[in-house]
A = this chain, B = another copy of it.
Amino acid sequence: MATKTETKRKNAGKNKAARDGDGNGNRRGANNGNLIAEKSVEAAITTSIDDAVDEKPQATAAAAAQAIEEVATASVNADGEMICQLETSLTRDQMLELYRYLKLTRLVEERLVNLYRQTKVVGGVFRSLGQEATAVGTAYALQQGDFIAPLIRDLGAVLVKGIRARDIFAQYMAKAWGPSGGRDLNIHFGDMTKGFIGPISHLGDMIPVMTGIALGARMQGKNLVAVAYIGDGGMSTGAFHEGLNFAAVQRLPLIIIAEHNWYAYSTPTSKQTAVKNLADKAAGYGIPGHIVDGNDVVACYETMKRVVEFARGGGGAAIIEAKTYRRKGHAEHDDQRYLPAGELEEWERKDPLDRFERHLISQKAATREEMDKIVADVEREIDEDVAWAESSPMPEPKQAAYNVFDNTIVPPALRPPVLGGE
């Protein structure tokens, strides 16, 4: 029987083949059943949108990386290491704040993993390791009155929107003081005053909801922007399509952040869609699509800022695709057996936090000491917040019965007595 390592390699190879196909880069479906020879399309009589039938062979190695290199404004520091986009309107203070949010996001998640290992987290832990720049950079370009519907992997956006880490800890630990009082998990809650609408698990469903936020706001004369985060996987859902299409028709200021992190659970993006870039999907809605290096927090911020202006100015909906990578498994339990060898290591080198640190240093925006101080502050905050969350009681059992409906109208759903008695 194969050893563990061999198995992993074997699987990895298989998966790689499925993803890279027969030399067509990420333009590949599965070759189930009869493999039919590929043929190029004959020119359509009139308009032929055959961009998809892109026959040029690509090197199979690190196709993901290549795609990003194509789009990134890849600046480098003196040592030739990648830093962030140089042109920016961000002030030094803002840069430091961005740094703080990035660190906060990562350290909150790391703490959650610790708590999970101590079995203090009741449900699963979903990491955004390697993707933090996308969530933080895009959310940072918003105003207070704007609304976001993040994904589970957008903790950074939630924090930028002003939700406190203690709420997150209490929520993960299913505590009474958590924002949903223990009724729902992780970032599944919301705060209308902060412009945060937590997702539900059903992928895609938040897109129509955010269309409604934008629609309702317009009726009320509010000029806000609604932002929905979605994965390469979630974009395959019908709800995504219906919600975005409706927003596009209504020219509503709905911005889709399409997080291209290469996997949906175990499924590679090539099995979610035949497009090369998620931003290509914008064409199907008659809206603009943009691609940004999702590991470059400055680029994420700047792109988002421009698109927010466009949307707020009446331009309507838009898609921003952030190219990034999910370095952890789907959740803590996932062994990532489906990863091709070497892929993870490559993306470790592209870590968005390391990159931003190098950027800050090389741009003389911050010293190592300043950064250390920020980290120390964040760590203190987290300690306090965890302590607070741990000190919360678990909810009272009977609370389960309350507030399905407005309880001034319908009484709580208490367990009914048996045979009239009890």
* A residues at B contact (CB < 8 Å): 27-30, 32-34, 36-42, 44-53, 71, 73, 215, 218-221, 223, 236-242, 245-246, 248-252, 270-277, 279-292, 299, 302-303, 306-307, 309-310, 313-316, 318
Contacts and interface: CB of A to CB of B under 8 A. Distances in A.
A339 to B, nearest CB: 20
Contacts of A273: 245, 248-249, 285-286
Q: Give the 6 A-B CB pairs with smallest separation, nearest first.
A: A238-B238, A284-B284, A36-B314, A274-B286, A241-B241, A52-B286
B280 A275 contact: no
B250 A30 contact: yes
14 contacts: A29-B248, A33-B218, A34-B221, A42-B310, A44-B288, A45-B290, A45-B292, A47-B279, A49-B279, A49-B280, A52-B282, A52-B286, A52-B288, A283-B283
A274 B251 contact: yes
A113 to B, nearest CB: 33
A48 B288 contact: yes
A289 B48 contact: yes
B286 A38 contact: no
A30 B248 CA distance: 10
Contacts of A272: 245, 249
Nearest to A30: B250
A272 B286 CA distance: 11
A238 B239 contact: yes
A311 B335 CA distance: 38
Contacts of A280: 49, 283-284, 286
Nearest to A218: B33
A299 B46 CA distance: 10
A288 B241 contact: no
A316 B274 contact: yes
Counting chain B CB atoms within 10 Å of each CB, the highest count among A271, A272, A289 belongs to A289
Given A36-B313, A249-B273, A284-B285, 8 more contacts: A27-B286, A32-B218, A32-B250, A34-B223, A36-B223, A274-B285, A275-B285, A275-B286
A282 B44 CA distance: 13
Given A242-B237, A314-B37, A251 B29 contact: yes
A384 to B, nearest CB: 39
A280 B289 CA distance: 14
B37 A313 contact: yes
Contact of A46 (B37, B42, B220, B291): B291
A85 B48 CA distance: 18
B290 A48 contact: yes
Nearest to A40: B315
